Structure 1
Amino acid sequence: MRKITLSNGQTVEVECLSCAVTSGLIEPDGGTVVETDYFHAHQDVAYPIPGLMILASKRHIKCFDELYEEEKADYIHILTKIRKAQRDVLGIENVYYFYNEDTTHHFHTWMVPRYEWMYEFGRSVESVRPVLLHARNEMNHEENLHKVMKAIDDLRNELRL
């Protein structure tokens, strides 16, 4: 078991944070945005950037090549559906996608929107970490968190259709 401090300050003890979130044991701030038989999407509000999504497999795997055929099809379908909603509802023109296999959690993809303010940190993959840290350290205030929660609601409503 690992002790993890969530973005709301609550401390939980879990084997795997992703398993706890995708199973509903832990409800992420803002709740689930969209869910399929194989995947769960939510905002990681520790990085308060409107439209930032985490798409996690419900099955505990670590690598893309471990996905079953039906999971692969579902992954592409839900990933593109979320991306379309980001563009249509939030006006997000560019997104960086990340997934890593040496994580302490299981398979999940980060969908990090690129807003104009982020370009002061650069336009390459190297700019993403400073952007995330800036958001966590400088944008974690009531006005911005309201924008994040509204984006969560807007995406959830769009993805219900």
Structure 2
Amino acid sequence: MNNIPLSNGTTVEVRCLSCALTSGLIKPDGGVIIETPLFHAHQDVAYPIPGLVILASKRHVFGLDELTEEESIEYLQLLRRIRKAQREVLKIEHVYYFYNEDTTHHFHTWLVPRYTWMYAFGRSVESVRPVLLHA
């Protein structure tokens, strides 16, 4: 089991955070953004930054190359829809995308928005960690 601190100040003990989110055991602040049989998108539960979205596979895979053809197509379509909503609804002009394969849970991508206040921490990818810690 893993102890996961949430942005609301609570800590949850779960075996798999993505499974807990996709099954409804953990409710992300703001609810589910998009859910399909293959993917689940929600506001990040650890960092309280509006528009910081996680797009996670429901299946336990760790790398992009493990997605099926159907998953690959849907993944890109969902990324585009989320990004379009970030731009149109939240007026987010720039976003950093992160995905890594050194994870203990599902394949997922972070869509990290860049707000004006974040430039105090720098303008490169190196500024993201201090921004997250500050939030």
Aligned residues: 135
Is the CA contact (8 Å cut-off) linking 1:23 and 1:58 kept in structure 2?
Answer: no
| Counterparts of 1:5 and 1:46, CA distance in 2 | 7
> How far apart are residue 126 of structure 1 and its match?
0.4
Q: Which residue of 1 aligns with 2:30?
A: 30
Q: Which residue identity lines up with residue 3 of structure 2 in the other structure?
A: K
> 1:117 and 2:117 equivalent?
yes
More helix by share: 1
| Counterparts of 2:29 and 2:16, CA distance in 1 | 18
- Please report the TM-score for the alignment, with normalisation by the length of structure 1: 0.78
| Counterparts of 1:88 and 1:10, CA distance in 2 | 32
- Please report the TM-score for the alignment, with normalisation by the length of structure 2: 0.92
Moved over 4 A (4+): none
Change beyond 3 A, Cα 1:7–1:116: closer
| Deviation string, structure 1 residues 64-121 (Cα, Å, up to 9, x no partner) | 1100000000000011000001001111110000011111222110000001111121
Is the CA contact (8 Å cut-off) linking 2:54 and 2:109 kept in structure 1?
Answer: yes
More strand by share: 2
What's the % identity of the aligned pairs? Answer: 76
Q: Which residue of 2 aligns with 1:148?
A: none
Between 1 and 2, higher relative CO (CA 8 Å, sep ≥ 6) is seen in 1
Q: Which residue of 1 aligns with 2:107?
A: 107
